[in-house]
Structure 1
Amino acid sequence: MELTESHRQYWRKNLRVTAILLVIWFVLTFVVGYFARDLSFSFFGWPFSFWVGAQGALVGYVAIIGYYAWYMNKLDIEHGVEEAEE
């Protein structure tokens, strides 16, 4: 089966958004967590570094998943490969 130009564009866009979101995930997981201990002020009674590590990253992960699902649905419709409604 030969890939059409539409298939190539679909996969290029898919790989690009996946790479960008993986970079954001890496920054949230390692970079923010590493520098969070230098943030030495209180946030709602807890050290800010604790809040970033325990809550902020989770919010970021959910945002990444939500954006990926929204973007891929939009991309599926754009390229005519969306799932049929039953």
Structure 2
Amino acid sequence: MSQDKSEARARHWVKTRNLTYVVLVLWFIFSFVVHWFAKGLNEMNFMGFPLGYYMAAQGSLIVFVVIIFVQNWLQDRIDDECGFGEN
């Protein structure tokens, strides 16, 4: 394996790993942290529902879907930047 290819793989792995860490932190926040503060969030309303209830019922699910699409888009950019995208 050439030196350039080895460096590209290492750069690709670092960027992919960092993206994965960010996604896991966001997933943790919207899975647990938001729900831990549901009582405080319920003091605010969103579309007529207490915000804590809304985040538990729908808000977190919407955020998860958005995270999936953004992660996929960013990973494609990382792949292309490092030369591992489609030709």
* Alignment TM-score, normalising by the size of structure 1: 0.85
| 1:70-85 equivalent positions in 2, closer than 5 A | 70-84=73-87
| 1:53-64 equivalent positions in 2, closer than 5 A | 53-64=56-67
The structure richer in helix per residue is: 2
| 1:7-86 equivalent positions in 2, closer than 5 A | 7-39=9-41, 40-84=43-87
| Separation in structure 1 between the aligned mates of residue 37 and residue 7 of structure 2, nearest angstrom | 44
What is the root-mean-square deviation of aligned Cα atoms in Å? 1.7
> Structure 2: which 5+ residue stretches go unaligned?
none
Once superposed, which parts of structure 1, at least 4 consecutive aligned residues long, lie more than 6 Å away?
Answer: none
| Separation in structure 1 between the aligned mates of residue 71 and residue 44 of structure 2, nearest angstrom | 33
> Structure 1: which 5+ residue stretches go unaligned?
none
Instruction: Indicate the percent of aligned positions where both proteins have the same amino acid.
Output: 36
* Greater relative contact order (Cα < 8 A, sep 6+): 2
More displaced stretch, 2-11 vs 14-23: 2-11
Are the equivalent residues in 1 in contact too, given 2:8–2:83 (CA < 8 A)? no
* Alignment TM-score, normalising by the size of structure 2: 0.84
Determine helix, strand or coil for the equivalent of 2:40.
coil
Number of equivalent positions: 84
Are the equivalent residues in 1 in contact too, given 2:38–2:52 (CA < 8 A)? yes
